[in-house]
Structure 1
Amino acid sequence: MKRARGTSEADRLDAGELSNLRLEQARMLKQRVLGSCLIVEFIIAYTAVIMAVVSSPAIAAGWFAAGTAMVIVAYLYGRFAARDGINRRNYAKFLKGHRVVSALTGLVWGGYAIFQLDYSSEFTIFLGCLTVCSITLGGVFPSSAYRATYIALATTAIPPLGFYIAVTAPGALRLVGVGLLVYYLFAMFISARVEIDTRETLAARNARMLNERIVGQNRLYLEASEEKTRFLAATSHDLSQPLQSQGFFIRALRDHLDRPDQIDLLDRVEEAWRAQKDLLQGIVDVSRIDSGAIVPRIVTVDLASECARLAEEFPLDPGKAKLADVHFAPVVVETDPLLVARILRNLLSNARQYTPADGRISFTVASEGDHALVSVADTGPGIAEEDRERIFAEYVRLEGGTRETQGLGLGLSIVRRLCQLLEIDLALDSAPGRGTRFELRLPISAPAAAAPASSATARSDFTGTPLVVLVDDDAAVVEAMATVLSGWKCKLITAHSSVEALELIALTPDIPALLLIDKRLGPGDDGAVLIEAIREECNEQIPAILMSGNLGKLAGFDEDEGLVYLNKPVEPEDLRIAMRDLLQAHAGGVARGSENAE
C-alpha cells in the first residue's frame, strides 16, 4: 500500500524538534492571553451593539453575557494554568486544555449566531456570519501560535452555522451557508500556512538566541584562553630563569667531579631538574606549537651523532630499565636537530617510565632505501588497541607505569605535534604483554660521508676560543652559563643590559664570534633590538642566539641563517649544538666570500 502524499507535521519533524516547537507554542499562548482576550471582548461588544439595534436588547445582552463568560474562562485558564510557567513537563497538558476552551468558545459563538437568526430580516444572517467570521479572524492572531487551537475554535463555530443556513434558509439565502463552508476550508488552508510561518519564526528566533549564547560562550572561552596564556607566559618566564641557571650549574659541576658516588648523586640531581624542566616545557610546548610559535630550522643533521648524544643523557640506573640495544647507522637527514632531539627525548623518557627495572629498551637508527628509521622500543606492558590513539591526546597517562612515573601526560602529544610539524612519519606497534615500539621515518638527504662533525667532535671544544657576548638580566643565569661556556674554551663578554653590553663591546678590539642574548632584558630593553645594534656597531652580521621564556611567536622576529631562537630553559647540549652549527655556518660563509673575492 502506497503511503499518502500528504504527511503530517509530526512526520516532517522528529520527536525532539516537535517537542521544542510545542513548548514554544504553549509559551506564546500563555504570554498572549491578555491581548487575545481584549481583542475578542472588543468583537463581542461591537456585535452586541449591532444586535441591540437590529434584533433586541435582550438578545444583545444574552450574547454579551455568554461571550464575555467564555472570555473570562479563557483568560483564567491562560493566567492560572501552569502557574509556575510552561516547561517540558506541563506544556502538553496546557495545550490540551487550551484546545478544549477554544472548542467551547466556538460552540458558544456558533450557537448564538444560529439562535439570533431571523430569515425575515436578512440583516440577522449578515450579523451571524459577521460574528463567526470575526471570532475566527480575530482568533487567527492569538491562536496562530498553535494551529490545533484554531482548528478547534473554527470547526465548532463556522460549519454548524454554515450547514444550518444551507439547510434551513429559504431560496438563494442557502448560498450564504455554502459560502461559509467555503470560507471555513479557506481558513483551514490559511491556518496551515500560518503554522509554517510560526514554526519558521520560532526557529529563526531560537537560532538567533542560540547564536547569541554561542557568541557569549565563545567570549568567555576567549577570555579564559587569554587568562591562561597570560598565566603560562608569566609562569614560563619566571620558572625558566632559575631552571636555566640550575641546568648550567649542574653541567659545570659535572666537570669537577671524579668520584663515582658524587657523579651518581649529581645524576639524581640532574634527573630531578630535568623532571621539573620537562613539566614546564611540556605545558609551554603545547601552547607554542598550537600557536605556530615554533618554526623548524632545517639543517643537515648527522642522525647517528645526535642519537648517540641523546643516549648518553640516559645513564645506567640500577632502579630503571637500561638501554640494552643501542645501534646507530651513519645516515644524514635534513631536519631540525633540536626538535628531533625533543621528540626522541620524550620517546626515551616514556619508554623508561613504562618499562620495569628488569626490562630492556632499544634505541636504534637504520637505513631502509632512501629513508632513515629511528626506533625506540621497550619490553613494557604494551598498549591496548583501544588506547593507541588516546595516548596522543593531552593529559592522558595510561596505567602500568613505574612508581616514579611523573609528568602531565603531554609527552606523546608533543611528539605527534612535532612530527607533524617536521613532516616525519610516526608509527606505533604495540600490544598488551609485547612491549611498545615507536618508529620515526625520515628521508635521507646525503651520503654519510657528507655529514657534519661526528658525536665525538660535536662534544669537543669549539675550534679556537670564540669570543661570545652573553647578555641576560638574571645574574644567576649569566653566572651559570658563563661557567659552562668557559669550560667550552669560550672567551666571554657578559652583561645584564643593552647599555652595558654595547659599552663593553666598544672597549673590546675584537669582533665577537657569537651573541647569546636574552629577549627580555628589563623594562624597555629588548634583546632582539640589541642584536641588531651590536651588528651595526661591529658592521658585521654576527651569528646570534636569542633566548626567551616567553610564550608565542615573537613579533617581528624571523629566524635566518645567522639568527636562532631557543626557548628557555635551554639544555646545555642543545645550546652547544646551536652554537656549533652557527659558528660552522658563519665560518663557511666567510670562506666562500673570500674565495669569491679572489
Structure 2
Amino acid sequence: MRLTARARLTLLLTTLVLAAGGALTALTYLLMRQRLRHGTFFTELDPAGSPSAGATQPAQSLHDLADRMVADTLSALLTQAGLALIAVTGLTAALGWLMAGRVLRPIRAISATAHRLSAENLTERIPVTAPADELSTLAATVNDMLDRIQHGVAERDRILDSQRLFTANAAHELRTPLTTARTAIDVTLDGNPNRAELLTMAGDVRNAVQHVQRVLNGLLLLARSQAGIGAREPDDLAGIAAAALDAARQRTHDLAVHTDLRPAPVSGEPVLLERMIGNLVDNAIRYNRPDGHLTVSTGTAGGRAVLRIFNTGREIPPDEAQTLLEPFVYGQGARVRTEGLGLGLSIVRAVALAHGGQLALTALPDGGLDITVELPQHPVATADRPT
C-alpha cells in the first residue's frame, strides 16, 4: 500500500515520539530501580550491619517486604508509563495528521493550480503566504516559472501569427503576378492574336516573371539574414553608404542629399551589409517627396558603429511605424504601394540582428522616417571603398 505524503509525515512524527517516549520510560525505570535498590532504607535493613544476631530474622523479613514493594512499584511504574505512552502516541498521531495537513496545504494548492492550468489559461497564480519559508519560496518559484511559460506561449503565438501572416502575404505577392501572366495569356490566345498582341502578352509575362524573381530573391536574402552570418570581414559603414549613394545618384536629382560619413568600422558579411544600407537608401529615395531631403551619416558612439538615415516623405502615424519592419507591410494611408516588395526594412532588421546590432525607427512629425542602425564596432578601421 502506497502512503501519501501526509500519512508518511504523520507516521514519522508518531514513530519519533514513540521511540523517544519508550527510551524515556526505560531510562526512568532503570534509574528508579537503582534508586530503590540502593537507597537508605535498604542500607539500614542490611543483615550484615545489624548490631545483634537476634535482629537478623526481623530484618530479613523487612528486606523481603521491601523487595516486594520495590517490585510492585516498578511494575506499576511500567504499567502507568506504558498507558501514558500509548495515550501520548495516539494524541501525537492525531495532532501529527492535522499538522501535516496544514504544512502540506500550500503544496496541495500548487498541485490544484497546476491541474487547472492549460495552454489557454496561464493567468492563475499560487498565493504566496507569510512567513517567508521554504513553501512560500516554492510557491514563488512556481509562479515565476508560470510567468516564463506564459511569456513563452505568448511569444510562440506571436511568432506563429507572424509566420501565418508572412506566408499569406508571400503567397499573395507570388500569386498576383502569376495571375496577371495567366490572364494575359488567356485573353491573348482567345482568338487569333496578331504579332503586336503576342508581343504585348510576352511583355506582360516577362514583367510578371521578373516580379516573381525579385520576390524570391528578397525572400532568400531575408532567410539568409535570419540564419546568421558566416565568415566575418572588416568593413566600414561609411564606405558602404558612399557606394550606395553613388549607385543611386541618378534617382536623387530632385532631392537635397546631405552626408556626414565618418569612419564606422564593423566586422561582418559585406554582401549583407551592402544590402542593408542599399535597402535603407532605396527606401529613403523611393518614399520621399519631390524636392525633399535625404541625410545619411555614419560614425561611432559608445563602442558602436552608427548609421543614421532620415528623409522627408509622407506622414506616418507613430503606432504604424514599427509595423513597417514586418515583411510585405507597406503602411495604410502613410505610404502608397509602389514597385517595392515590402521586404526592404525586414531585411535591414534581420541583417542588423544577425550582426549583433539593433535598429531604431521613428516617424518624423512632418513626415518621413528617422532610422538608426547600431552595430558592434570593429577595433581597426579598414575601409576599401572611398568615403
Give the TM-score of the pair, scaled to structure 2: 0.42
Structure whose alpha-carbon radius of gyration is higher: 2
Give the TM-score of the pair, scaled to structure 1: 0.28
Structure with more relative contact order (C-alpha pairs < 8 Å, separation 6 or more): 2
